[in-house]
């Protein structure tokens, strides 16, 4: 699956809609407005769902977890994820 993203100078931005407490941990598709839909098994408590999101994006893109951070939406289902130091994913 091709992940939709926007490229800036040396960063890649991905818009994500998270579904926490799901039965599966997976990228479930792409919404109409180029937003990545992700299902996570972790609950949205104490940042555990955010940590699992970073792990899942790292596995899907082959980028180190240290290069990925959530820049907007830490306590929301809609998030903006930044990947630094990557040319493409």
Q: Is residue 75 part of a domain?
A: yes
Q: Is residue 1 part of a domain?
A: no
Q: Is residue 12 part of a domain?
A: yes
Domain count, the chain: 1
Q: What is the pTM of this model?
A: 0.93
Mean per-residue pLDDT over the chain, rounded = 94
Q: Give tens-digit pLDDT for 27-57.
A: 999 998 899 999 999 999 999 999 999 999 9
CATH number (domain holding residue 35) = 3.30.1200.10
Q: Is residue 65 part of a domain?
A: yes
What is the four-CA torsion angle of 16, 51, 39, 76, rounded to 10 degrees? -50
Residues of the domain holding 29 = 6-84
**What proportions of the chain, in percent to the nearest 5, are helix, strand and coil?**
20, 35, 45
Q: Is residue 15 part of a domain?
A: yes
Q: Is residue 89 part of a domain?
A: no
Handedness of CA 83, 86, 88, 89 (dihedral sign): negative
């Amino acid at each position: 699956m091709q992940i939709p993203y926007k490229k800036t100078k040396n960063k890649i931005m991905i818009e994500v809609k998270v579904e926490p407490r799901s039965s599966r941990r997976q990228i479930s598709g792409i919404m109409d407005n180029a937003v990545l839909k992700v299902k996570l098994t972790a609950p949205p408590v104490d940042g555990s769902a955010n940590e699992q999101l970073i792990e899942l994006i790292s596995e899907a893109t082959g980028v180190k977890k240290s290069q990925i951070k959530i820049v907007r939406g830490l306590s929301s289902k809609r998030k903006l994820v930044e990947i630094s130091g990557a040319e493409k994913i």
